[in-house]
Amino acid sequence: MNWDALLAPYAQAVEELKIKLKGIRKQFEYESKHSPIEFMTGRVKPVPSILEKAEARRIPLEQIEELQDIAGVRVVCPFVDDIYAIVKMIRSREDLHVIEEKDYVSHKKESGYRSYHMIIEYPVETIHGVKMVIAEIQVRTLAMNFWATNEHSLNYKYKGNIPADIKSRLQRAAEAAFKLDEEMSIIKNEVQEARRIFHRK
């Protein structure tokens, strides 16, 4: 398998999507409005993780492109409302097509995971013409991201079998993150104004 050739359009999609999302953030800044984007990251799934996921899902190598998160972009927002603002913006874009949405913000996963996932189809121009690439956009708050990043590391460390005591602490941490998002939403206007004053300095 020529992984470099296979993954090249995915890498290009990730870079282009990151630039476009940065564009949204900049526009909000120019208009000195609250930006719903705190930061974003993107990655192409490493080959060993692709192989692991394909094996777990019994996807043969020739159909590897069925995996929907080979290209992944993550948008991290200050507040919960911002997630839905971003989702709306992504839905209305003409340079991509949303094919599936998973709202783990309103319906958290059993693990305690919260995030909004959008599976999109994105056209990448190649030397052979347009290639439609499937990518996953994850939209979450800073608090959700903090929780998910730590849980992901623990899952990696314990190879998916996190001990029960740590699991229950993670459940409590997920509840605390939820509460934090709720409290911050209530004082959102105050925080936004403080941020604007700070940036004007």
Q: Is 94 a catalytic residue?
A: no
Catalytic residue among 16, 62, 136, 175: 136
- Provide the mask over 19-58, with x wherever binding to ligand 0O2 is found by CB under 6 A and - wherever it is not: --------------------------x---x---x-----
109 contributes a contact to ligand 0O2 by CB under 6 A: yes
Which C-beta is closer to ligand 0O2: that of 81 or that of 101? 101
Token pair 């777990």: residue: 56
Which C-beta is closer to ligand 0O2: that of 34 or that of 137? 137
Query: 160's torsion region: left (phi>0), alpha (psi -120 to 50) or beta?
Result: left
Q: Sign (positive/negative) of CA torsion 91, 30, 21, 129?
A: positive
Cα distances (angstroms) measured from residue 121 to each of 69, 131, 136: 11, 10, 9
Q: Which positions touch ligand 0O2 (CB under 6 A)?
A: 45, 49, 53, 69, 102, 109, 111, 113, 117, 148, 151-152
Active-site residue set: 136
